Amino acid sequence: MISLRRRPRDLPLSRDASARFLPWLIAFMVYLAAIALVSALAAQKIADRWDQDLSGRITIQVPHAALSAQGNPAESADIDALVEYLLEVPAVQGVDVLDRQRSAELVEPWLGDLATEAELPIPQLITLELREGLSLPDDFETRIQTLAPGAQVDDHQRWIGGLLDFAQSIQTVALLVVLLVGAAAVITVIFVTRTGLAIHRQMIELLHLIGARDRYVAAQFQSHAFRLGLGGGLIGLLAAVATLLGLEWLVDRQPTALLPDLSLGYMDWVLLLFLPVFTALVALLTARYTVLRTLARLT
């Protein structure tokens, strides 16, 4: 049975040169794992926002030239007739015609003050909310082109799938990074533990002669590894939090909607705070298994 109670330290493990670098190595690994986890969480937020905002919606863009009264009458758009037709389509639940001000607000993050210029040829945007289970008629785009020549019908479902796949790829890569970091941490603890066993081999043999069991020796190594893992994990977490807060501050100062939201929720912070504890437990179990397995081979 594994116990974390404080035990007498018969082995001066804290004096080992090999163990002095373990907290810093673990701190670096926890830092990488925390950044990877936040990247996965940010990708999940972006994917959820895309799915929520664009699912079941269609946007119709009527070019500015078709709205001009000075243009060719054959190429002019009849917005009122277009809206009337859209309201008659059974699959369309709602129609929202965006005025110039609302359309300018959509492109303002990219164009800045230029979006409010009266000469800017902003197209007329019409968003449709579709009913579930119903499909648009086959001649839908043809009728749109008849009422508004040059209009473009953007079905977001055609490209949102690719964006969601991209977000899923980011999450997969982040998970692989976490797994690789965890594997590297386990290998590092194994190396440090075996080095400690080699350094203190004579003292361990003396402990065996006076009746100490392998579990007694393993308990000292595992408690030492737990302390080092927890300390290094806290250092790495603090560095990761400082980095994330700095990035969030930089993102908030940028006047663009292209950058992802790096703010973390309550459960996200809980997950990050659990990283040092998880790392310490991994170090404890790895050290215990390594000691017991090595001592079993020696005896």
pLDDT at 176 over 60: yes
d(CA 66, CA 75): 6
User: For position 32, what pLDDT does the model report?
Assistant: 92
Q: Are 189 and 232 in contact (CB under 8 A)?
A: no
Lowest pLDDT segment from 41-50, 72-81, 203-212, 213-222: 72-81
pTM reported for the whole predicted model: 0.68
Q: Mean pLDDT score of the chain, rounded to an integer?
A: 78
Domain boundary among 155, 182, 198: 155
End-to-end CA, the chain: 21
Work out the burial of residue 257: count CB atoms within 10 Å of its CB; fewer than 13 is exposed, 13-18 middle, 19 or more buried. exposed
Give the rounded percent of residues in the chain with a pLDDT score beyond 90: 14
Q: Are residues 34 and 78 in the same domain?
A: no
Helix H, strand E, coil C: the string for the chain is: CCCCCCCCCCCCHHHCHHHHCHHHHHHHHHHHHHHHHHHHHHHHHHHHHHHHHHCCEEEEEECHHHHCCCCCHHHCCCHHHHHHHHHHCCCEEEEEEECHHHHHHHHHHHHHHHHHCCCCCCCEEEEEEECCCCCCCCCHHHHHHHHCCCCEEEECHHHHHHHHHHHHHHHHHHHHHHHHHHHHHHHHHHHHHHHHHHHCHHHHHHHHHCCCCHHHHHHHHHHHHHHHHHHHHHHHHHHHHHHHHHHHHHHHHCCCCCCCCCCCCHHHHHHHHHHHHHHHHHHHHHHHHHHHHHHHHHC
Number of Cβ atoms within 10 Å of the Cβ of 141? 15
User: For position 226, what pLDDT does the model report?
Assistant: 92
Q: Are residues 252 and 104 in the same domain?
A: no
**Residue 290 or residue 9, greater confidence:** 290
User: For position 146, what pLDDT does the model report?
Assistant: 82
User: For position 96, what pLDDT does the model report?
Assistant: 82
Q: Are 37 and 271 in contact (CB under 8 A)?
A: yes
Please indicate, yes or no, if residue 151 is contained in any of the structural domains. yes
Q: Are residues 204 and 92 in the same domain?
A: no
Q: Are residues 174 and 294 in the same domain?
A: yes
Q: Are residues 189 and 263 in the same domain?
A: yes
Q: Which range, 9-13, 199-203, 234-238, 249-253, has the best average confidence (pLDDT)?
A: 234-238
Domain count, the chain: 2
Q: Are 35 and 243 in contact (CB under 8 A)?
A: yes
pLDDT at 70 over 60: no
pLDDT at 133 over 80: no
Domain boundary among 101, 127, 155: 155
The pLDDT of 94-107, averaged and rounded, is: 76
d(CA 30, CA 238): 10
Per-residue pLDDT band for 4 (boundaries 50, 70, 90) equals very low
Residue-wise pLDDT tens digits, 248-283 = 777 666 655 555 566 677 788 888 888 999 999 999
Per-residue pLDDT band for 2 (boundaries 50, 70, 90) equals very low
Q: Are residues 151 and 290 in the same domain?
A: no
Q: Which residues pair with 61 in a beta bridge?
A: 125, 152
The pLDDT of 185-212, averaged and rounded, is: 81
Residue-wise pLDDT tens digits, 10-20 = 666 767 676 77
- Structural domain that includes position 149: 56-155
Domain boundary among 155, 171, 197: 155
User: For position 279, what pLDDT does the model report?
Assistant: 92
